[in-house]
Amino acid sequence: MQIYIDGEYYSKEDAKLSVFDHGLLYGDGVFEGIRTYNGRVFECDGHIDRLYASAQVIALDIPLSRQEMIDVMMETIRRNEAYDGYIRLVVTRGVGDLGLNPSKCPKATVFCIASGITLYPAEVYQNGFKVATLSTRRNDPQAINPAVKSLNYLNNVMGALELRDRGVNEGLFLTTAGYVCECTADNFFMVKGHKLLTPHPATGALKGITRGVAMRLAGLMGLDVEEGFYTLYDVYTADEAFLTGTAAEVGPIVEVDKRPIGAGVPGPVTKEIISRFHEYAQNSGTPVGA
Instruction: Report residue 116's pLDDT band, with 50, 70 and 90 as the boundaries.
Output: confident
Residue 205's region, left for phi above 0, alpha for psi from -120 to 50, else beta, is beta
pLDDT number for residue 98: 96
Q: Quote the percentage of the chain above a pLDDT of 90.
A: 95
Instruction: Report residue 118's pLDDT band, with 50, 70 and 90 as the boundaries.
Output: confident
Which residues, in sequence order, are CB contacts of 15 under 8 Å at separation 6+? 3, 5, 111
Mean pLDDT of the region 138-151 = 90
Residues 33, 135, single domain; the answer is: no
Residues 214, 109, single domain; the answer is: no
| Residue pair 278/37 in contact by the 8 Å Cβ criterion | no
Domain assignment present for 289: no
Catalytic site residue from 12, 107, 130, 149 = 149
pLDDT number for residue 147: 86
Residues 216, 161, single domain; the answer is: yes
| Statement: residue 38 has pLDDT above 80 | yes
* CATH assignment of the domain containing 148: 3.20.10.10
* CATH assignment of the domain containing 25: 3.30.470.10
Domain assignment present for 290: no
Mean pLDDT of the region 151-175 = 96
Mean pLDDT of the region 47-53 = 98
Residues 143, 244, single domain; the answer is: yes
pLDDT number for residue 115: 95
Residues 68, 172, single domain; the answer is: no
- Answer yes or no: 207 catalytic: no
Q: ∠ CA(37), CA(39), CA(43), 5° rounding? A: 55
Which residues, in sequence order, are CB contacts of 254 under 8 Å at separation 6+? 127, 128, 129, 130, 260, 261, 262, 264, 265, 266
Q: What is the 3-state secondary structure (H, E, C) of the chain?
A: CEEEECCEEEECCCCCCCCCEHHHHHCCEEEEEEEEECCEECCHHHHHHHHHHHHHHCCCCCCCCHHHHHHHHHHHHHHHCCCCCEEEEEEECCECCCCCCHHHCCCCEEEEEEECCCCCCHHHHHHCEEEEECCCCCCCCCCCCCCCCECCCHHHHHHHHCCCCCCCCEEEEECCCCCEEEECCCEEEEEECCEEEEECHHHCCCCCHHHHHHHHHHHHCCCEEEEECCCHHHHHCCCEEEEEECCCEEEEEEEECCEECCCCCCCHHHHHHHHHHHHHHHHCCEECCC
Residues 70, 210, single domain; the answer is: no
Range of the domain at 43: 2-115
| Residue pair 89/50 in contact by the 8 Å Cβ criterion | no
Of 93, 115, 137, the position where a domain reaches its end is 115
Of 80, 115, 150, the position where a domain reaches its end is 115
Specify the number of domains making up the chain.
Answer: 2
pLDDT number for residue 290: 63
pTM summary value: 0.94
Domain assignment present for 288: no
